[in-house]
Amino acid sequence: MDSLRLYSVVIMRHGQVILVEWLYLIIILAVVLALVFTIMIGRSQGNKEENSRYTQQTGRNWLSLSLMYIAGILAVVLLLITFL
């Protein structure tokens, strides 16, 4: 008996077929890239020098960070709506 490999398949709106394994690969790649870029920013020279304004403007910093997260979440939702 031939061995069967079961593939998890997502059938998209336009009849395209994508293997779930590819989606996992894309997600893992995005996480790894985010980690690498976060480490690069953390080790940058500009980040090593203390900025006194940064510690005084915590409300503005939280707002900026929150807006970046909201933009990222919206981008992911739009991509999912577009491609699925």
Are 17 and 11 contacting, i.e. CB atoms less than 8 angstroms apart? Answer: yes
| Bridge partner residues of 18 (DSSP) | 10
Confidence of residue 25 (pLDDT cuts 50, 70, 90): confident
pLDDT in tens, 28-68: 888 899 889 888 888 887 777 777 776 777 888 888 889 99
Q: What percent of the chain has pLDDT over 70?
A: 73
**pTM assigned to the model:** 0.51
Structure confidence at residue 1 (pLDDT): 43
